[in-house]
Chain A
Amino acid sequence: MLSTPALLLATMLFGLGLIGLLSRRNILYMLLSLEIMLNAAALAFIAGGARWGQVDGEIMFLFILTLAAAEVSVALGIVLQLSYRFRTLDADAFSEMRG
């Protein structure tokens, strides 16, 4: 049965993505880390579906894929805008809102 190691792998991938998201300041790498975390969630769904022999895991994978495609297209447009206006990709430089 491969579900338990698959869930462990999903946890580790999610942790790696979270570490990348928190440690990198380049906004492109933060997007890549988000992709890694989405993939880890998809792997967890697939592992759950394989464990119970149901198709719901694959259907949730389809929805995660749709979400990732929509998210990436908008986020990359925002990255292009930011790099055009601020001439940098450093996430700390985008502090005009004093947040």
Chain B
Amino acid sequence: MSDIASRVKAIIVDKLGVDENEVVPEASFTNDLGADSLDTVELIMEFEKEFDIQIPDDQAENIATVGQAVKYIEEAK
């Protein structure tokens, strides 16, 4: 697993209180990992802080799964 993927996973485990094994690339934050609308906003903010990037709202809307988050961050870095 890439460094970015493992850091993303750690944030998700911490913020959503889920088991590490559940955080697979295809897992949806809302459908699979129990996130609500506020959790997803918080996750995006944590990604921004951890990776020192800005994720505009219109792009944040397209980040719905673990894999999409990792891909977005890899491209933004």
A, B co-complexed: no
Contacts from A to B (Cβ < 8 Å): none
Interface residues of B (CB under 8 A from A): none
